[in-house]
Each structure stands twice: as structure tokens, then as C-alpha cells.
Structure 1
């Protein structure tokens, strides 16, 4: 979802308490509840069905605090490929754009702003590689300790990795002296610095999860390059990822749908995983890969060609098994028979040109492109 839609939704909720109908018109999604155990799988929306109660609660509790300090036109919130964290009573903000490879840290403190900014820079650089230590939807301070998340992905003015407080402090002083910028934010003066990440920052993040990906791949018989491609597409290897669909972590798992399926059908557990569980990279990758196993052995079972199966799995991860079946005329049996009669390139063409959901059409294109890149890196 783009920033314009975020701002429109938040403004509506904060200022006027808008209706569900308005939210639906902004998001253009189907809120129909899912039932993973229904006999007819065609209508199922997939793991990205919205958790509207959680979404509403999140907007109401958090956005007002942000708007109060930063104004309606300067609201930023964490997303799948962005890390946004407020601290110091919402006076400081860190914004990491994982797609573009930039880290922006700013403060709107009116008293001794450079001191506030320095503290915010140091905190951002030393934020630990543990999402459990960071509450993205409050201004609660971060529990420090352990290897910093941005270690090696950001280097100081001398090209050195930042892992210790003294180096982070020295780099913060350098940035404030040489890179400080200002702008007006809701009639307040903002002081900020923008730090470029190293060129291969995405690959560095991916390397952290190699052992976890390998284990999940072997356990569930899902290709490693596919797992990597899904993670890059969903979160750009951002373990703090959270999205509009109430999805969490690297593979953007929705607890009530994919999470519930994995717990019940694979793990033999009742209920669904918590956000804390899904923010653990090992749990997240295991859950996401297990969901692919469910798609392969249950919801899409019967597709004979392995490549056609993989295209269908990728599409279903985003748009549901029902979206795949509807692409080929609807109804599981008839759709699978049609898929089995087609060449793999025809299946790909149909899912990228005729799928009823435009997002799912582009999703398959993106994932397969990334998959080729990761396959070439082996």
C-alpha cells in the first residue's frame, strides 16, 4: 500500500471515525472471512486476508500519538520493507528504507535538539538484531544489547562497521557536524541526517538466514531459492516487517490464516502463532515454508508438473488457492485438470495475465525474477 493510502486512512480515523465502507474503498480488498477447513477451496482468499479488528485497533491507538507530534502530513509507520521507530516521547524517529538502502534519523525536540538527535542516531545504529526488543507501535525505548541489526550494513566515515557504543557515538558526532539537515514539520523545526547503507546490504541480511532457510527447505521439500525469493519480495529481509494485513516478519505471515493453518495442520497445535513468535526469524521462515508445504500437498494437490505447481504455489501464497482456481475457470477439480493440460509457460502466462487480482499477477512475476537471481548465486 502506498503512503497516500496510509495517510488517507489514518486521517479519516483520527479526524472523523470513518466507516468500514470507506476503509474498504481505500484498500480495495475483500474482507470476507476465511475458513481453511471448508471443502470448497475456491473462494478462500489466501493468507493475506485482512485482520480488520487488529488493523482498527492499531490505527486508533498509535496514529493519534504520531499525528499529535508530527502532524497529519508527516505520519510515517513501519511497513513490510520499512522500519519506523519513535522514541523519546515521539520526539525522535528512525526511518529505514530497505528497498532504497537509506537510514534517516530525525528529531523535533525544541530543547537541545542535537543532543536528542545524537541519542536517536546511537540508538538506531545499536538497535539489536532481535525484534522482540523493539515495540514499533509506541515510543517505548529499545532494550539494547547484543549484535546490532545494522552491523556491516552501515559503516562509519572511516568505512568501519558499527558494533560498539563508542564508535556509534563518534559517528553520530561526525554526522551532526557534517551531514545535518533541517526542515519544517508541522510548524516545528526538524533536525535530521540520512545515512546510506552499503551497496550489498540486502545480501548481507540474507546471509544471516542461510542455515534457517536450508533447514526449512530440507524439512518441507521447498527449494531454497524460492524461500529467499519470497522473503525478498515480502520484506526485503527486514525481520521487523509488519504490514497492513497484520502480517509479521520475514515471510509476512498472517497469524489467523497461514499461521493458523501451519499450527493446526503441520505442528498439531491449536490456535495461531503470536506476533512475538513470528518475529523470531527461525519461527517465521519455518512457518512460511510449512505453509508452502500445505499448498503443495493439500490445497493444490493434483498438479502434476513441478514447475506448474511452483507457479501455482507462488500465486496462491499471495492471492489464495481460490485465485489460482478462478484463473482457470473456478472449481478445484476442473482448474487442476486445466493446469495439467497446459504447458508450464501457458500456466505462467495465465497466472500473470488472467489472474483476477492484479497484485497477484505482479507478485508471481516478481518472485520468479528474484528466484532466478538467487538460483544463480548458488
Structure 2
């Protein structure tokens, strides 16, 4: 970087350190995100975290400011509208594993928690709350499977279509049948909501809500929907299906609506200006980058995420000779960047590759899970390998 660019970058790093509490508040970060971000107390720490998002940011520090501003504005607007209605205790925001949608002037909300496997509808309306919850349950059960048809950052109503719903087969009615059509959703909501409505106090108001569990193995059901897309991407880019499945499970729990504070979208949590831009430039020979709408499309997202794994395998980490060691390195790099994989072994990239090639596969794994500069990347490798092993055991 030039001195001017470096100065501008340093200024940004100071700014991002000051903005950390706001980002955390707006985006409902994961526990690991909180741990990593809470350490960014100076510009050097912020710089390291920024590098985690890709070497593109390192060389284009002005892009970090732009991207941060966009995601901050998006969450800030939502946060302001939500806190005005719900206060500080009962506000929820969309994350990688939690789907959240507000409607009716932000008085009603739907939450689908894929980690804890439940659907909950809530309202702070003090009159007519039973009918509102019933209507909200119907909307949740029939919500479209296409994230581009739902505005997660406003209170715009759902667009109910005749297409297969997002939660199809993940909630079943009293006849143990999946809910596909409006008549069945109406019947289910009318019966279930009236019988199971509960209330709690928040922000000097009563919150009325109903919570239902998703069916057992709902994550497997979601994963089946993307089997053909994963197979296509696997063959196209010569990446193992097991790895694609494991990364999707780790990144989003197969939630196509997944968003994060890091400006990552969709099933494989692709960041447009880093991995997305690399794929467009190096694979698709385009000089732009994918949009949020592009990445919310599951086919585009899986193709882009897998193409980035291909780039890591054939370009950035191609010097790693042992296939298994390269596999571990690719997984770590997908989360924490190739630069931090190299730094795990040596400050010089060429030397780092030589060091990796001198190690056994187990030694490479141990070092990446213990000494990667990014704490999240250390745990990330462990999780992906665990999910990959699970896939291989259940699909062979």
C-alpha cells in the first residue's frame, strides 16, 4: 500500500474499533463473533480482523468503509424501527442461523431458529392479538422459499405464492401432513394458536406469542432441497460434495436467508467484495461483483461459494502438496483467508508452503486449529471436519 493508502486504512481501523459495539448490537453476532470482535481494541487488532475478510480489503481499504457503511445503514434502519416498538429486551435481528421477519409496522415478527429448531410468532398488539398471531402463523408457514421475495430489513408483508413454502415438510399438522396450501395453514393456525398462546412482559407491554418445534431432522430436510445444486457445483469445480455440505451446515444451517454483520449472504455466507469478487474476476471473467440479490439465490450462492473453494484449491493454496493438508488449509482459508493460513506457519508465504509440505497431515491440522491468527478460523476447521465426517457416515 502507498503511504496515503496506509494512512487512510489506519484511520478506518480506528473507526471500526469505535463502531464495534454498534455492529454487535445491530447484527446479533454469534458468540464467536462477539469474542473475536471484543478484542479489537486498537487499529492493529481491527486491521487483523479486516484482513480475515480477504486480501482484497487489504489492497482496497476504501472498500471496507463502503461495505461497512452499507451493512451498518441496513441494520441501523431496522434496529431503529424495531427498538422503537420492542424496546431493548425483545428485539431480534436476522443472523446466519436465525430467520427474523417483522411486519405490520414492526408490531409482529416471525422467528425461525435453526440452531434450536423452533418457529415462533410474536406480537405486541394489545387488541386482536389472537387473530394477528393466527395470520402471522399462516404467513410464516407459507413464506416463500426465495429470499429475494422477502425483505428482511423492513416490515413489508410476505408475498404468498403458490410455490413450495420455505418451511415445507419442517412443520406438520395434526394429521402429520406437511403444510403446503393456505387451507391447511389456516386450519393449523386456528387450532394451534388458540390452544398454545402465551404472554410475557417486555418494554411495559405484553408480548403475545406461540412457539412450535420444527420436525426432527429438519436440517436434513432443508439440505435435501439443495442436493442437485451441490452435485452440480461439485462436478463443475471438482470439489467434494461432503465439503460443500459441511460448509453450508457450518455457515448457515441450510438457511438461504442467512445474513451476517460481515456483509455475507446466503447458504455459504459469501461476501460480495471478497470471495464474490474473486469468483467473478477469476472464474467468470467479469470485472464486477455479485449483488445481495444474486447471492440470496441458492443456485448462485452454492455456485459462487464452491467456485471460491476451487480458487483456493487451484490458485492460492495449490503449492500445498499433501491432499489432506491442502483440504485443511482450504477450509481454514474459506473462513479466515489464505493469508492467515500462511501466517500460521510462517510470515513469508513461500516459506510457509515449504513448512506445510514438511509436516504430516495431522501436524497441519493441529497447527491450524491451535495457532491460526484468527480464533474463529481455528474452531471453524474443527466444525467443518466434524460435519463432513457426519455427511460421509450418513451418505455412504
Scaled by the length of structure 2, the TM-score of the pair is 0.86
* 1:121 equivalenced with 2:117 (yes/no): no
- Select 1:98's aligned residue among 102, 114, 120: 114
Contact 1:126 1:165 (8 Å CA) reproduced: yes
C-alpha deviation, 1:25, in angstroms: 4.5
* 1:170 equivalenced with 2:187 (yes/no): yes
Query: Alpha-carbon deviations, 1:253-274, whole Å to 9, x = none?
Result: 0001000000000001121001
Counterpart CA distance in 2 for 1:44 and 1:314 is 23
Give the equivalent residue in structure 2 for 1:276: 293
Aligned Cα RMSD in Å? Answer: 2.5
* 1:65 equivalenced with 2:81 (yes/no): yes
Counterpart CA distance in 1 for 2:105 and 2:39 is 29
C-alpha deviation, 1:129, in angstroms: 0.9
C-alpha deviation, 1:210, in angstroms: 0.7
* 1:209 equivalenced with 2:220 (yes/no): no
- Secondary structure of the residue aligned to 1:189 is strand
Scaled by the length of structure 1, the TM-score of the pair is 0.90
C-alpha deviation, 1:297, in angstroms: 1.1
Change in Cα spacing, 1:309 to 1:35, as seen in structure 2 (3 Å) is closer
C-alpha deviation, 1:158, in angstroms: 2.6
Give the equivalent residue in structure 1 for 2:269: 252
How do 1:83-232 residues align onto structure 2 when only pairs under 5 Å count? 83-145=99-161, 146-232=163-249
* 1:265 equivalenced with 2:282 (yes/no): yes
- Secondary structure of the residue aligned to 1:73 is coil
C-alpha deviation, 1:232, in angstroms: 0.0
* 1:373 equivalenced with 2:390 (yes/no): yes
Counterpart CA distance in 2 for 1:102 and 1:256 is 33
- Secondary structure of the residue aligned to 1:191 is strand
Give the equivalent residue in structure 2 for 1:334: 351
Contact 1:35 1:44 (8 Å CA) reproduced: no
* 1:78 equivalenced with 2:94 (yes/no): yes
The size of the alignment, in residue pairs, is 359
Contact 2:23 2:72 (8 Å CA) reproduced: no
Change in Cα spacing, 1:247 to 1:189, as seen in structure 2 (3 Å) is same
* 1:239 equivalenced with 2:256 (yes/no): yes
C-alpha deviation, 1:23, in angstroms: 11
Contact 2:264 2:271 (8 Å CA) reproduced: yes
Where do 5+ consecutive residues of structure 1 fail to align?
12-20
Give the equivalent residue in structure 2 for 1:354: 371
Change in Cα spacing, 1:345 to 1:159, as seen in structure 2 (3 Å) is same
Query: Alpha-carbon deviations, 1:128-182, whole Å to 9, x = none?
Result: 1111110001000111111111010111133211011111111111122211100
Where do 5+ consecutive residues of structure 2 fail to align?
1-19, 28-36
C-alpha deviation, 1:29, in angstroms: 4.7
Query: Alpha-carbon deviations, 1:46-91, whole Å to 9, x = none?
Result: xxx8931122212321110000010022211000011000011111
> Could you say which structure has the greater relative contact order, defined with CA pairs below 8 angstroms and 6 or more residues apart?
1
Give the equivalent residue in structure 2 for 1:291: 308
Counterpart CA distance in 2 for 1:278 and 1:125 is 23
- Select 1:324's aligned residue among 333, 336, 341: 341
C-alpha deviation, 1:330, in angstroms: 1.8
Query: Alpha-carbon deviations, 1:233-253, whole Å to 9, x = none?
Result: 000000000011010000000
C-alpha deviation, 1:324, in angstroms: 0.5
C-alpha deviation, 1:222, in angstroms: 0.5
Contact 1:7 1:73 (8 Å CA) reproduced: no
